[in-house]
Amino acid sequence: MKNDPKKILRYTPFERANHWLSAITFILLAISGLAFFHPAFYPLTQLFGGGVWTRILHPFIGAAMAISFGVMFFSYRKLNVITPTDKEWLKHVREVVDGDDRNMPEAEKFNGGQKLMFWLLVGCMALLILSGIVIWRAYFAFLFPAAVIRLASVVHAVAATIMIALIIFHIYAAIWTKESIDAMLYGWVRRPWAKQHHPAWFRQMMGGDK
């Protein structure tokens, strides 16, 4: 596949491994976090070796996700700067949903929707990390007054709920845009795919102007 001239590299092996590390840690965090959130989900703690182990492991898995997402943040932040073309793209998003993307403003490596999603994820991650540090009983919570810990618990739960909704949408969009999962699994995309979904990026990869 690597030497196939009809394909373009979209994600390097490192980028893919790191993305899937974020995905796996996210799922583990969502499952263990829900177990703390409501008694109905408590049986999920069995997957982590019981309640005590779940409580020990959750923040460490969170630290792994923070590092992994941090790498994605620094790798993709410039590619996700929202331009006037992206704002136009977002205004026309209805056409994409209706299955007619012929008259859409030209997307770069990431389209307006992906860029918006990126910044929403960055916001949620920042809130989750900061509030997570405050409520990490074993190491940091003793540094903060009780009122701050209570507030941080609420912020953590709200940010996590929004993040779960965003990731459900992200997965839905990834499945809905055919071949996009292949890009994140194998790294390469077909030229017609790139031309259809990310024309400005396609031209750039072909050596033309942006």
Interface with ligand HEM includes 174 (CB under 6 A)?
yes
The rounded distance, in Å, linking the Cα atoms of 36 and 23 is 20
DSSP 45-113: GGGGTSHHHHHHHHHHHHHHHHHHHHHHHHHHTGGGPPPHHHHHHHHTHHHHHTT--TTPPPP-SS-HH
**Quick one: 65 or 152, whose CB is closer to ligand HEM?**
65
49: left (phi > 0), else alpha (psi -120 to 50), else beta? Answer: left
- Tell me which residue of 91, 116, 114, 115 sits closest to 103, measured CA to CA: 91
- In the chain, the largest separation of any two C-alpha atoms, in whole Å, equals 61
Task: Decide: 164 and 112 in contact? Cβ < 8 Å.
Answer: no
SS3 123: helix
Out of 171, 172, 176, 192, point to the residue binding ligand HEM (CB under 6 A). 171
Catalytic residue among 58, 170, 197, 198: 170
Q: How far apart are CA 169 and CA 189, in angstroms?
A: 22
The span of 81-89, 128-136, 154-162, 175-183 binding ligand HEM (CB under 6 A) equals: 175-183
State yes or no: is 170 an active-site residue: yes
114 binds ligand HEM (CB under 6 A): yes
Shortest separation between residue 87's beta carbon and ligand HEM, angstroms: 17
Nearer Cβ to ligand HEM, position 138 or 171?
171
Which residue from 47, 168, 181, 206 is in contact with ligand HEM, where contact means CB under 6 A? 181
Letters for 15-54 (x = contact with ligand HEM by CB under 6 A, - = none) are ----x--xx--xx---------------------------
Quick one: which of 104, 183, 194, 200 contacts ligand HEM (CB under 6 A)? Answer: 183
Q: Does 10 contact ligand HEM by CB under 6 A?
A: yes
Contact 29, 167 (CB under 8 A): no
Tell me which residues are annotated as active site. Answer: 170
Residues that bind ligand HEM (CB under 6 A): 10, 19, 22-23, 26-27, 69, 72, 76, 110, 114, 117-118, 121, 167, 170-171, 174, 180-181, 183-184
